Every structure is written in C-alpha cells, then in structure tokens.
Amino acid sequence: MGSLEVERTTTGWAARDPSGVLSPYTYTLRNTGPEDVFVKVICCGICHTDVHQVKNDLGMSNYPMVPGHEVIGEVVEVGSDVTKFKAGDCVGVGTIVGCCRSCRPCQADIEQYCNKKIWSYNDIYTDGKPTQGGFAGAMVVDHKFVVKIPEGMAPEQAAPLLCAGVTVYSPLTHFGLKQSGLRGGILGLGGVGHMGVKLAKAMGHHVTVISSSDRKREEAMDHLGADDYLVSSDATRMQEAADSLDYIIDTVPAFHPLEPYLSLLKLDGKLILMGVINTPLQFVSPMVMLGRKTITGSFIGSMKETEEMLEFCREKGLTSMIEVVKMDYINTAFERLEKNDVRYRFVVDVAGSKLDQ
C-alpha cells in the first residue's frame, strides 16, 4: 500500500455553490496519522441534512463541499496506534469525525454535544483543512469515530442506521423509553421516521404514525408494521387520540404547529424534536403546563450508542428500506428527496460508481 505518510487524493462529488448541484471533484486526503483509519468507501446514505448543507439553507456552507455522513467502507490501512480495526473490516463513519475530548459531554461519552465537535463535512479539521464526506472514493478518519459493522449486515442496509437509526435510538434510550408496552407516535414518515417505526416496534411499543395525509397509510401499516395511523387534519380522530401517547418522535424538517401533537401526549409525555428547522416554532404554554409535558430535542447519538444500536438491529434483524442509486444519479436523488419521493432512504453505491479509477 505504500507508506502511511504519503498524502493521497480521492474523487468525490461536490457542490460548488448554493445551487447544490454536485459534480466530480478531486482533492487531497490528509496523511494517515497514528490514530487514523484509511477507509475505501463502499456506499453512503443520503440524509435531508445533505440537501440543507449543499444549498446553504443554514447559512454556514463552505464550498467545494462533498456531503455524505452515512458512510460504510472497508478498512484499507490503520495507523500504528489503532488496535480496534484491521484491513478488510467493514466499518461505518457517521456525522462527526472529531471532538475536544475534555469537555463534560466528551468525558461522559456523549461527544455529539461537544461544542468543538468536527463535522464529517463542511467543517475544518485539526490540520486546518476542510473535512469532506462520504460521496467520495475514500476517507481518512480518527478511529474514535469509526464503528464496526456487525457481521452479516449488508453495507447498504447499515448506511442509514449511522444517522437515521441512531437519531431515533439515542432519545429512546436516554429518556427511558426502551421498555416494552409504551405507546409512541412517529410524526413524519421519511428516512428517520421509518427507522423510528421499526426501532420502536422492535422495542415492543404500540406505534402510531402521524402524517399530514392518508397517502402513506398502507406502507406505514402493512410494510413497516405500525399499529395505527393518524391524519393530523382529521379533527375527530385527533381528538379521539388525545392523551394517548407516551412520546412523539417529531421528524418533520419544516415549520409546523406543535399544539395538535402536544394534545396527543399523556401526562409527562415527551415531544422529541429531530427535524432541522431554521424558523421558530410556537405553542401556548398551557398545552405543556396542564400535562407536565416536555418539548425536547435530541441530536444523532454517541459512538457508544451507535455501537449499541447496530447490535440491537443485528439481534432483531432490523433493516432499513432503501433505494440504491449510482453516483451519477445523485442530483436527481437530491431533487426527489426534497419532494419526499423516496422509500425511505437513498443509498449511493459509491464503490460501484468507480470514482477513483
């Protein structure tokens, strides 16, 4: 393979400006340090955040930008201090590739809440170079932020678990909502929502999917195994369902009123926000006061939780529902994702797209 000290180049698909159009872009990978893992990318899931980032929806985008943070790859080489991984291992890389390691969240192994965390793309690494994501032939990643994919799990099935899967698993674990017999609601049936249904069902919960239309009823009930389906504009059904849920996982990534959903929660129920929304949400305070209800948020999950979640999915035989595409389809996939025209996650076959040849 040559010396670990040699800088390598790789080709990814990058956005150059807020039009968000991606095209091939060749760039240098940093030297593989003692604690680094050099990963050849096999596949990478497309998350709604990728669309926000390439279009500068959050006002923080830097270009050229190679997105992608649901990365599955094969270890090609490891640094001299890496003991957990070896060449040939199938591994995953998620949303974060660095943290300060000394703050309270880092000390508590919830490094996703570190104020100095380094994003896997659209950020600056410790060497002063921009980070680039998984829609590329290869990545060099600190071994702390690499996770082993359980044996027998197909790479393309595992990809969405690294963001969508752990994003749901983490709050259910943290807020003590893993025990069976709970009644949960999943608001929005996209990439995160569909994993929410699957994980909550696997934990033994009664799961209600809440959506703005009847369009996804059949797939929610028949394909994903939800127990009930509520259309939020159906006032009668919404009223009948009042005070019935222990929690709602709110995955909607656009402005929406919270009050209709707060009314569905039982005493001490939790509305857990997961959609990235850059406009203020609103509610009237008695809606939370009169049921001691909580509006809270949760952000992806820690490396520890990612490992736990992958093991849980392996044990329960959980998979994600995906559509596999090649890299040259990525701009169309982004357009379709914006229209919610995917069941339920696009995964790019990076290795099959032969970027580095």
> Are 25 and 140 in a shared domain?
yes
> Are 101 and 240 in a shared domain?
no
Q: Residue 307: inside a domain, yes or no?
A: no
> Are 90 and 155 in a shared domain?
yes
pLDDT tens digit sequence for 261-319: 999 999 999 999 998 888 999 999 999 999 999 999 999 999 999 999 999 999 999 98
pLDDT tens digit sequence for 185-196: 999 998 899 999
Kindly state the average pLDDT of the residues 179-203: 96
Q: Residue 315: inside a domain, yes or no?
A: no
Kindly state the average pLDDT of the residues 76-89: 97
pLDDT tens digit sequence for 44-81: 999 989 999 999 998 999 999 999 999 999 999 999 99
> Are 216 and 192 in a shared domain?
yes
| pLDDT above 70 for 111 | yes
Q: Residue 16: inside a domain, yes or no?
A: yes
> Are 158 and 194 in a shared domain?
no
- Output the average pLDDT for the chain: 95
CB-based burial label for 196 (10 Å; 0-12, 13-18, 19+)? buried
> Are 148 and 235 in a shared domain?
no
pLDDT tens digit sequence for 321-330: 999 999 999 9
Q: Residue 272: inside a domain, yes or no?
A: yes
Alpha carbons within 13 angstroms on the beta-carbon side of residue 9 total 8
> Are 151 and 197 in a shared domain?
no
C-beta of residue 202 within 8 angstroms of C-beta of residue 265: no
> pLDDT > 90: what percent of the chain?
90
Q: Residue 312: inside a domain, yes or no?
A: no
| pLDDT above 70 for 2 | no
Closest CA to 48 of 342, 325, 247, 353: 342
Q: Is the peptide bond before 113 cis (omega within 30 degrees of 0)?
A: no
Q: Residue 303: inside a domain, yes or no?
A: no
> Are 110 and 19 in a shared domain?
yes
| pLDDT above 50 for 1 | no
Model pLDDT, residue 7:
65
Q: Which residues span the domain enclosing 239?
A: 165-297
Taking the C-alpha atoms of residue 253 and residue 275, their distance in angstroms, rounded to an integer, is 4
Going by pLDDT thresholds of 50, 70 and 90, the confidence category of residue 4 is: low
Kindly state the average pLDDT of the residues 25-48: 95
Question: How many folded domains does the chain comprise?
Answer: 2
Model pLDDT, residue 319:
87
Model pLDDT, residue 6:
57
> Are 25 and 78 in a shared domain?
yes
Q: What is the CATH number of the domain that holds 181?
A: 3.40.50.720
| pLDDT above 70 for 141 | yes
> Are 230 and 328 in a shared domain?
no
Model pLDDT, residue 5:
55
Model pLDDT, residue 276:
84
Model pLDDT, residue 356:
79
